[in-house]
Amino acid sequence: MNNKIKLLTKTAILTSLLFVLTSYVSIPIKFGYLNLSDAFIMIISNFLPLNHLIFVSSFATMLSDIYLGYSEYAVFTFVIKGLEAFVIYKLNQKLTFKYSYLISFITGGLLMLVGYGIADVIIKNNIIYFITSFMANLPQAIASVLLAAIIHNVFKKVGLNGTK
């Protein structure tokens, strides 16, 4: 099979998987829902070229927002998750020490926290929602970093380091 078709197939499958993971493995909270989309983005950051990673991250999570009835977050999610994917990917490329993946994962989680804090301030038109949003999304960021780090290490041990 030609490499372009393989890449498009991988991109389509990962987009579908991220949509399903985000939409069906989620916990509703006051401002939206908690999910493991960030962990998925962190995990796949070594398996796709940047433009495909951004597409998967942005498109699947935006569709999940719309599907779950949080359409007011859809545009914010598209931007936040795309930016998160971009930053994680670039940090993975630049940092080369033993635990550098943790820096990229933590930075991605922080970016998500700040991004949704800003989104909630804009949506609710009240600055106090930044702190509330940050704290509500903190468990998602922590769980995502921990889960992604564990899976990253398992993949590394079995020789799945990722090929873009």
Q: What percentage of the chain carries pLDDT values higher than 90?
A: 87
User: How far is 103 from 127, CA to CA, in rounded Å?
Assistant: 28
Write down the domain spans for the chain. 3-20+36-157
DSSP reduced 3-state for 20: helix
Q: How confident is the model over 89-128, as pLDDT tens digits?
A: 999 999 989 999 999 999 999 999 999 999 999 999 999 9
Cα–Cα distance list, 1 to 4, 6, 75, 131 (Å): 9, 7, 35, 50
CATH numeric code, 3-20+36-157: 1.10.1760.20
Whole-model pTM over 0.75: yes
Average pLDDT, integer, range 37-54: 96
**Predicted pLDDT of residue 33:** 84
Decide if pLDDT at 164 tops 60. no
Encode 37-54: b = buried (16+ Cβ within 10 Å), e = exposed. Answer: bbbbbbbbbbbbeeebbb
**Predicted pLDDT of residue 163:** 54
- H/E stretch holding 29 reads strand 26-29
Tokens standing for 10? 């991988």
The answer to whether 39 touches 140, Cβ cutoff 8 Å, is no
Residues near 162 by beta carbon (within 8 Å), at least 6 away in sequence: 45, 46, 47, 155
The answer to whether 67 touches 16, Cβ cutoff 8 Å, is no
**Predicted pLDDT of residue 133:** 95
For the ranges 26-30, 38-42, 95-99, 144-148, which has the lowest average pLDDT?
A: 26-30
